[in-house]
Chain A
Amino acid sequence: MLNMTIKEKSTWLSLLATLYIFGRYTFEVFAIDLAAVSELEAIDIVMGNLSSAVLLIIIVEIIFQSIIAMAASKNEVEGDERDKLISLKANNSGYWVLSVGAFLTLGQLLLPHAIGMESSLKSYYPLPLFELHILLFAFILSEVVRFAHQVVLYRKDAV
């Protein structure tokens, strides 16, 4: 811990918070028994869980990032050129994951109209608000990849 920059500590916090809060949300969504509830009820459950997850991550980030920032000087909070380079490299990794997710979502929306067939992914994983969830999971995964890549670069002193 002593050998970490403020930016690295902040990245660790974001990674762990995202993994825990959205990991829990993912588990809850897959645990919904679609045979036992109506589609509208399932959507209500999902929206409730999603709102709680988003609210929780905002609260956790605000509280803990403020605590981390209080222990640092203004320069440390802003980060130096190495922090910025690490951030740029990690953003690139996250971008690729998000792009794949965006294309998957587009495919899910367009393919049934283009070739007149129901998407196969949807039949394997019948989630409520299916297309929203592909995009949401792609976003969460891209964030996890971004934070994890940052942590790896910091730990390896790679740049």
Chain B
Amino acid sequence: MHIVNRVRECRFFADEMTQQELATAVGVTRQTIMAIEKGKYSPSLEVAFKIALYFGKPIQEVFSYQDSD
């Protein structure tokens, strides 16, 4: 099981906003945004919703579940 995300892409289309700007907006550290983008850390539902809401997208457009099989 693996959760994939399009946070990097969303940042790009939001005028190439920085990781720090997104981190401040959703209340986490820049390193956490970096770990999320690399797929090393799956955020809590709360942070995932905050990120999706920040970009004005439904959560399933930003985060999706991928079966490893």
Listed in ascending order, the chain A residues whose CB lies under 8 Å from chain B are: 3-5, 8, 75-76, 79-83, 154, 156-159
The secondary structure that dominates the B interface is: loop
Known: A157-B40, A157-B41, A158-B40. A82 touches B29 (CB 8 A): yes
Known: A81-B47, A157-B34. A5 touches B40 (CB 8 A): no
A82 near B41 with CB under 8 A, answer yes
A4 to B35, CA, bound (A): 12
Complex contacts, B58 vs chain A, CB 8 Å: none
Known: A157-B41, A158-B40, A159-B41. A83 touches B29 (CB 8 A): yes
For chain B, give the interface size range.
10 to 19
B28 within 8 A of A: yes
Listed in ascending order, the chain B residues whose CB lies under 8 Å from chain A are: 27-29, 31-32, 34-35, 38, 40-41, 43-44, 46-47
A108 to B28, CA, bound (A): 47
Residue of B nearest to A4 (CB): B31
Complex contacts, B44 vs chain A, CB 8 Å: 81
Of the A-B pairs whose beta carbons lie under 8 Å apart in the complex, a sample of 10, sorted by A's number, is A8-B31, A75-B27, A79-B29, A80-B27, A81-B32, A156-B40, A157-B31, A157-B35, A157-B40, A159-B40
